[in-house]
Amino acid sequence: MFLAVLKRRALSCFRKNTFGLIAVLCIALVANAGPIISPAHFQISAGLRFELPANGNLRIENLRGGVIVEVWPENFVSIAAITDSGQPSRSPAVIQRTDSLLSIRVARGTQRMNLQLKIPASEHAALINNKGLI
C-alpha cells in the first residue's frame, strides 16, 4: 500500500515538473523565434530554391504565361510565381529533378501565371512558354 502511494506521488511530481519544463522551453522558443512567417508566405516572397544536376541542365515550360530570367552568381535556381501585375502568387509548377535534368513545368490553365527565375550564368537552360515573353 505504501509503495502504491509513493508511486502515485512520484508520478504526479514527475508530470508537474515535465509540464513546467515543456512550458519553459515553448516560451523560450517563441521568444527567440522573431516574427512568425508561414511556409506559404515564405514560398511566395522568397521563391523556391533548387540545386541543379551536375551537368547544369535546366528545362522551364510555362504554358500559362511568361518566363522572366535573371542570371546570378549563386549555384542554385530560384523560382517564384508572379501575376501580370507583379504580385507574388502560389506556384502551380511541377518540379522534377533527375541526375541529368531539373525540369519545371506549369501546365495550361485558366489563370495566367508568370515564372520568375534566377539561374547561374554557367548553366544550360531550355525555356518554353505560351505566347509570352522570355
What mean pLDDT is predicted for residues 50-66? 92
Asked if residue 25 has pLDDT above 80, the reply is no
Neighbouring C-beta atoms of residue 68, cutoff 10 Å: 17
Contact of 103 with 62, CB cutoff 8 Å: no
pLDDT tens, residue by residue, 74-126: 999 999 999 888 889 887 889 999 999 999 999 888 888 899 999 998 888 88
81 CB-contact burial (10 Å; exposed 0-12 / middle 13-18 / buried 19+): buried
Q: Greater confidence, 85 or 46?
A: 85
DSSP state string for 59-127:
EEEESSS-EEEEEESSSEEEEEEE-TTS-EE----EEEE-SS-EEEEE---SS--EEEEEEETT-EEEE
pLDDT band at 31 (very low <50, low <70, confident <90, very high): very low
| CA 131/CA 47 separation, integer angstroms | 24
Computed over every residue of the chain, the mean pLDDT equals 75
* pLDDT of res. 116: 92
Residue type, 48: L
